[in-house]
């Protein structure tokens, strides 16, 4: 831990203690650089370094939380006094407290490799070269149909130090790299499809080559040309790996302690029951090396553990933080998953498509909503109509409306292509008998 930051966070904790309160202090610093290219020249260059101290105060069942970017001790003295005074005038909440320290125990000391040791070697020339190469390749691949390409190189470094007055101290240092492009092309009439491709990783070397990124950004836009809707039909659909989270989030929201306690969960009381097909397994694994959701501690400073959330369709766990565990009078787990895994299958999307007959490969979503109380959801889709593995034409202005308890029972197969550039390490998923409707 940075010595100066350690001294400061210890000092803040002591000051709050002298004021008669318990505390949780998070001290963070971040630096990011973003370069965007358009029309073969830099369109935007952004760089910023920020710092922040977040203070949570617990005072006789009362609670307040505030943040400040001013880390000078005179300013912090006034800030601490204000937060403690704010807590003292709020209504008492008997469930609001620091966690039992026993949940802090067991944190792994392994290096999760979330910090690229070569980050400091990144130069302005490197960043410009990445964005320029992506744009150039996208322009070349999109050809005469291209209207515009916006290519981006982004990187950041983040340090965090956490201390609670009842015994937890922790720190994390991470880096993040992202690159990609958004492409707009001219279609028939006044149609201007927009697509793109973006990837992100903690380690720069784990990202694909910039030319490959530019090629895929153009390709994923060109395949949208000539799209049209089809009549309402019951079809098998394949949700592409990078998009599965858009539908899955509606299911996950019903697993949170807040929605369970507030009677807004269609999964309340269903622990141990079947909520999906045998293919539907979800594992929360916080200790994947270089995983985008990997962590040494969670939002409550609990030592995170690997959990089976759903196993072969059976619901096994909820996401319940310390606060809502007290309200629900149950054991806490965690507030939200880290790396969420659905085990991949053995076949590629192309192999699966050949056996499905007529269906839709969903490559993107538009809008959508999900009701955590009833499980009903609706989402607009963009994709490719196929028959026996052959693409017929792109589809748009289509919609899927279903209920999560029915939809996840339609999950028939997982492909062999987990998406590794997200905390949702999900493969493409095949669903049978889905009603796809024209909007």
Each residue of 204-263: pLDDT tens digit? 999 999 999 999 999 999 999 999 999 999 999 999 999 999 999 999 999 999 999 999
| Burial classification of residue 218, based on how many CB atoms lie within 10 Å of its CB (0-12 exposed, 13-18 middle, 19 or more buried) | buried
Residue 309 pLDDT exceeds 90: yes
Residue 403 DSSP SS3: strand
Band (pLDDT 50/70/90 cuts) for residue 134 is very high
Instruction: State the DSSP code for 401.
Output: E
Query: What strand order describes the sheet that includes 314-315?
Result: 314-315, 307-311, 282-284, 340-341, 424-425
**Given phi > 0 = left and psi -120 to 50 = alpha, else beta, which region is 228?**
beta
Q: What is the pLDDT of residue 3?
A: 87
CB 296 within 8 A of CB 170: yes
CATH homologous superfamily for the domain 119-156+168-222: PmbA/TldD superfamily (3.30.2290.10)
Using pLDDT thresholds of 50, 70 and 90, give the confidence band for residue 1. Answer: low
* Cα–Cα distance for residue pair 408/277, rounded to 1 Å: 6
Specify burial of residue 177 (Cβ count, 10 A radius: 0-12, 13-18, 19+): buried
CATH class assigned to 3-9+19-104? alpha beta
Taking the C-alpha atoms of residue 84 and residue 117, their distance in angstroms, rounded to an integer, is 39
How confident is the model over 29-65, as pLDDT tens digits? 999 999 999 999 999 999 999 999 999 999 999 999 9
State the pLDDT at residue 429: 98
> What is the residue extent of each domain of the chain?
3-9+19-104, 119-156+168-222, 227-439
Fold match flag (3-9+19-104 vs 119-156+168-222): yes
Closest among 103, 120, 138, 335 to 221, alpha carbons compared = 138
DSSP characters over 140-178: HHHGGGEEEEEEEEEEEEEEEEEEETTS-EEEEEEEEEE
Please give the pLDDT value at position 117.
Answer: 97
């Amino acid at each position: 831990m940075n010595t100066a930051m350690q001294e400061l966070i210890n000092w803040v904790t002591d000051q709050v203690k002298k004021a008669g309160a318990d505390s949780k202090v998070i001290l963070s610093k971040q630096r990011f650089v973003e370069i965007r290219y358009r029309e073969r020249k830099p369109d935007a260059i952004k760089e910023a370094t920020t710092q922040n101290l977040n203070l949570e105060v617990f005072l006789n069942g009362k609670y307040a939380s505030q943040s400040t970017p001013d880390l000078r001790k005179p300013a912090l003295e006034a800030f601490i006094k204000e937060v403690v005074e704010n807590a003292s005038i709020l209504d008492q909440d008997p469930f609001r407290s620091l966690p039992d320290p026993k949940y802090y125990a067991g944190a792994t000391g392994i290096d999760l490799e979330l910090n690229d040791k070569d980050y400091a070697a990144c130069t302005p020339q490197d960043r410009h070269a990445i964005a320029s190469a992506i744009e150039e390749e996208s322009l070349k691949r999109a050809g005469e149909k291209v209207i515009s390409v916006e290519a981006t190189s982004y990187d950041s470094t983040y340090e965090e130090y956490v201390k609670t007055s009842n015994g937890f101290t922790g720190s994390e240092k991470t880096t993040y790299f992202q690159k990609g492009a958004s492409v707009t092309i001219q279609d028939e009439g006044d149609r201007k499809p927009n697509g793109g491709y973006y990837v992100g990783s903690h380690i720069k070397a784990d990202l694909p080559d910039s030319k490959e990124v530019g090629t895929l950004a153009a390709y994923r836009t060109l395949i949208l040309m000539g799209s049209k809707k089809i009549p309402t039909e019951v079809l098998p659909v394949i949700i592409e790996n990078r998009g599965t989270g858009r539908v899955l989030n509606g299911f996950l929201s019903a697993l949170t302690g807040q929605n369970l306690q507030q009677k807004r969960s269609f999964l309340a009381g269903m622990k141990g029951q079947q909520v999906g097909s045998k293919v539907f397994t979800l594992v929360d694994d916080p200790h994947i090396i270089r995983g985008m959701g990997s962590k040494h501690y969670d939002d409550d400073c609990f030592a995170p553990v690997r959990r089976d959330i759903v196993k072969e369709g059976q619901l096994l766990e909820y996401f319940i933080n310390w606060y809502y565990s007290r309200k629900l009078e149950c054991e806490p787990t965690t507030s939200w998953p880290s790396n969420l895994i659905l085990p991949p299958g053995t076949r590629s999307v192309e192999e699966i498509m050949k056996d499905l007959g007529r269906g839709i490969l969903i490559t993107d979503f538009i809008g959508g909503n999900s009701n955590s109380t009833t499980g009903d959801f609706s989402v607009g889709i963009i994709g490719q109509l196929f028959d026996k593995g052959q693409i017929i034409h792109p589809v748009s202005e289509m919609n899927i409306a279903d209920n999560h308890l029915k939809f996840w029972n339609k999950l028939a197969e997982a492909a062999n292509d987990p998406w590794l550039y997200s905390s949702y390490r999900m493969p493409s998923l095949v669903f049978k008998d889905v009603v796809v409707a024209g909007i």
